[in-house]
């Protein structure tokens, strides 16, 4: 049985349809009210229940509407796909979101960054398909959102969903913030606390050495990393097998250290911690490789993954998986006395990864949320300030319950995309610690390029992964200076006001304003308005020009201007009376401006 209801909001007509399989007669209530954060923003509430006391078995809830493509040039749908972050779609859009991947929100905006229309669902758990198509005949976008998808059905006495609709004429990140606030008001879930240690610079093994990580390599490079100012060590994939190859996960699932590589795993963890580093370990708790003992032991729980990398997944729709994953997480934290875990491949859970029709959770999202919530509660019982990292593809508003670190992913050399991903994550979840993807560069690259790369990676919590014993001393000196700069100015960079300038697919400038200073990162050849705030100011030059163009310059009067090279050495210090149009500084260098 299908029932339809319509409502008009912000000049757009929305059609809500609900399909139930048990033939129940439904009573539907469809209302709208203004959202409290922004003008021209509404919350459309859809509620359906059966007449009488019978329960509902819901096959599908869908919303359809059309938007004229007027004065809009950009599109945002959240991580992980870069093409969905800037380009206005010119054919069709298909995105699936749920507790383990993305979140149900899109924005259409003007090329200057102002919102034109934004839409979101407040339910963050249920798997939802976000479909859109450009209809050339009408010059409009047609959208169709529907849930649940896959094999799921919703069994409930009453279904309530709320659609967020905004036509507010303001920067689209402000609309995203209002949407997140609406989610939090409707769903006040507990959130995993973020300890200050989550903001320490991280050294990761992955891009440096991939699966060839070993106890000897870790101890040597951890000592070097600690001396360079890093605060956290992350041992990534490869610690549990000597047979791994790239994109082949057949040996995952048992999660025991490989004794040939790590003859004393607990001892080496303690040794790294004694160097002043926290120790975080990589694990993919749902992943079971084809060659593992777990593949035989847990065969009744296994379903397919979304990749073809020689592994399957523990089904998140089976309650027994809750015990298996929880036991693993607690064992790793307790037996190896870890400071945290990098939890990977949550987004590889297929919507239909069932080996039987027996399910304990109605949807994949419900299972993922309950299983990971319980597992991280057990990790916290071992270590209350445990660090739990999620990649950006499954870092969303739901996963704040069981992750306190969100990380950009798979852009190790592309620092522009790395900075973009981090910017998007910081806007989405300012209450999480947001880490860069591990920075990597060639040991033969120029000092200028390395300095520019490092200026990029200190726009949030920096992460680096290179072979420290094989890089030139000049590169290590640059690394020591810029990691030191981040540590010295971390309060401003992390806890100050974060104000990126966002253009289509690019972030040319980011301003960080703290209680006692300002920092401006310039990442493209663009003029920079310095503002009129009397606080001391740092300008970091990651452009391609050996000067900073100040236009318009709102500073006035005499200021002490200290120019540093890319290693942080002072090369010039003089008094300049503003306004000034141009400040010379080498690429990869910085300028400090202090009022007199």
pLDDT in tens, 266-297: 999 999 999 999 999 999 999 999 999 999 99
Decide if pLDDT at 500 tops 90: yes
Burial track 493-519 (b if 16+ CB lie within 10 A, e otherwise): bbebebebbbbbebbbbbbbbbeebbb
Q: Name residue, tokens 């523990």.
A: 314
CA distances, 321 to each of 156, 311, 368, 476, 542 (Å): 23, 16, 10, 45, 47
Pairwise CA distance, residues 559 & 593, whole Å: 6
Decide if pLDDT at 74 tops 70: yes
Q: What DSSP letter does each residue of 194-232 carry, written as one string? A: --GGGGS-EEESHHHHGGG--HHHHHHHHHHHHHHT--E
Q: What DSSP letter does each residue of 169-183 carry, written as one string? A: -SBHHHHHHHHHHHH
At 59, the pLDDT band (50, 70, 90 cuts) reads confident
Decide if pLDDT at 81 tops 70: no
The pLDDT of 81-109, averaged and rounded, is: 81
Helix axis angle for 415-428 and 172-186, nearest 10°, is: 40
Q: For residue 49, what pLDDT is reported? A: 83
Decide if pLDDT at 119 tops 70: yes
What would the pLDDT profile of 364-384 be if each residue is shown by its tens digit?
Answer: 999 999 999 999 999 999 999
Decide if pLDDT at 143 tops 70: yes
Decide if pLDDT at 83 tops 60: no
The pLDDT of 456-471, averaged and rounded, is: 97
Q: For residue 548, what pLDDT is reported? A: 96
Of 551 and 130, the structure prediction assigns the larger pLDDT to 130
Q: Give the rounded percent of residues in the chain with a pLDDT score beyond 90.
A: 79
Pairwise CA distance, residues 247 & 268, whole Å: 27
The pLDDT of 324-349, averaged and rounded, is: 97
What would the pLDDT profile of 529-572 be if each residue is shown by its tens digit?
Answer: 887 777 899 999 999 999 999 877 778 889 999 999 999 999 99
CB 302 within 8 A of CB 350: no
CA distances, 233 to each of 204, 276, 294 (Å): 6, 10, 28
Pairwise CA distance, residues 329 & 387, whole Å: 12
CB 522 within 8 A of CB 548: yes
Lowest mean pLDDT among 18-32, 110-124, 179-193: 18-32
Of 353 and 2, the structure prediction assigns the larger pLDDT to 2
Phi, psi of 32 (to 5 degrees): -140, 145
At 355, the pLDDT band (50, 70, 90 cuts) reads very low
Q: Give the rounded percent of residues in the chain with a pLDDT score beyond 70.
A: 96
Burial track 185-217 (b if 16+ CB lie within 10 A, e otherwise): eeeeeebbebbebbbbbbbbbbbbbebebbbeb
The pLDDT of 477-486, averaged and rounded, is: 98
Q: For residue 24, what pLDDT is reported? A: 65
Task: Share the mean pLDDT of the chain.
Answer: 93
CA distances, 356 to each of 151, 206, 306, 346, 360 (Å): 12, 36, 18, 21, 11
501 - beta bridge partners?
509
């Amino acid at each position: 049985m299908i029932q339809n209801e319509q409502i008009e909001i912000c000049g757009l007509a929305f059609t809500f349809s609900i399909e139930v399989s048990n033939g129940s007669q439904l009573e539907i209530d469809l209302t709208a009210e203004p959202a409290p954060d922004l003008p021209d923003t509404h919350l459309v509430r859809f509620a359906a229940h059966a007449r009488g006391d019978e329960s509902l078995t819901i096959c599908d809830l869908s919303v359809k509407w059309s938007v004229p493509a007027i004065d809009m040039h950009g599109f945002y749908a959240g991580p992980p796909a870069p093409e969905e972050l800037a380009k206005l779609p010119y054919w069709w859009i298909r995105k699936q979101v749920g507790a383990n991947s993305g979140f149900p929100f899109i924005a259409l905006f003007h090329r200057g960054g102002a919102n034109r229309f934004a839409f979101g669902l407040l339910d963050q758990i249920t798997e939802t398909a976000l479909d859109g198509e450009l209809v050339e005949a009408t010059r409009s976008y047609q959208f169709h959102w529907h849930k649940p998808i896959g094999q799921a059905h919703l069994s409930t006495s009453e279904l309530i969903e709320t659609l967020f609709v905004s036509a507010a004429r303001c920067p689209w990140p402000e609309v995203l913030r209002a949407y997140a606030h609406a989610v939090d008001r409707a769903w006040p879930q507990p959130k995993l606390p973020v300890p200050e240690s989550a903001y320490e610079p991280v050294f990761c093994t992955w891009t440096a050495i991939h699966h060839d990580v070993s106890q000897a390599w870790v101890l040597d490079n951890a000592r070097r990393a600690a001396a360079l100012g890093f605060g956290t060590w992350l041992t990534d994939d490869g610690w549990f097998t000597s047979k791994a190859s790239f994109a082949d996960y057949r040996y995952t699932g048992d999660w025991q250290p490989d004794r040939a590589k790590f003859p004393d795993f607990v001892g080496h963890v303690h040794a790294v911690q004694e160097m002043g580093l926290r120790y975080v370990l990589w694990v993919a708790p749902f992943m079971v490789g084809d060659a593992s003992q777990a593949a035989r032991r847990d065969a009744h729980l296994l379903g397919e993954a979304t990749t073809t990398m020689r592994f399957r997944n523990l089904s998140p729709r089976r309650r027994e998986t809750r015990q298996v994953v929880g036991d693993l997480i607690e064992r790793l934290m307790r037996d190896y006395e870890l400071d945290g875990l990098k939890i990977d491949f949550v987004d590889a859970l297929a919507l239909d990864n069932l080996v039987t029709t027996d399910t304990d959770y109605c949807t994949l999202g419900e299972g993922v949320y309950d299983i990971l919530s319980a597992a991280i509660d057990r990790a916290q019982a071992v270590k209350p300030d445990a660090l739990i990292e999620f990649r950006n593809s499954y870092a969303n508003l739901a996963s704040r319950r069981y992750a306190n670190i969100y990380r950009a992913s798979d852009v190790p050399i592309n620092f522009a995309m790395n900075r973009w991903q981090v910017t998007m994550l910081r806007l989405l979840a300012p209450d999480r610690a947001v880490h860069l993807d591990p920075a990597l560069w060639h040991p033969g690259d120029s000092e200028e390029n390395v300095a520019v790369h490092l200026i990029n990676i200190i726009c949030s919590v920096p992460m680096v992964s290179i072979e420290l014993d094989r890089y030139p001393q000049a590169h290590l000196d640059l690394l020591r200076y810029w990691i030191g700069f981040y540590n010295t100015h971390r309060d401003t960079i992390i806890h100050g006001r974060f104000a990126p300038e966002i253009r289509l697919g690019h972030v040319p400038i980011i301003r960080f304003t703290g209680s006692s200073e300002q920092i401006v990162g310039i990442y493209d050849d663009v003029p920079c308005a310095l503002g009129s705030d009397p606080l001391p100011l740092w300008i970091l030059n990651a452009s391609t020009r050996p000067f900073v163009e100040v236009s318009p310059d709102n500073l006035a009067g005499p200021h002490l201007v200290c120019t540093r090279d890319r290693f942080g050495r002072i090369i010039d210090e003089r008094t300049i009376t503003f306004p000034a149009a141009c400040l010379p500084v080498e690429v990869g260098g910085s300028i400090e401006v202090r009022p007199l």
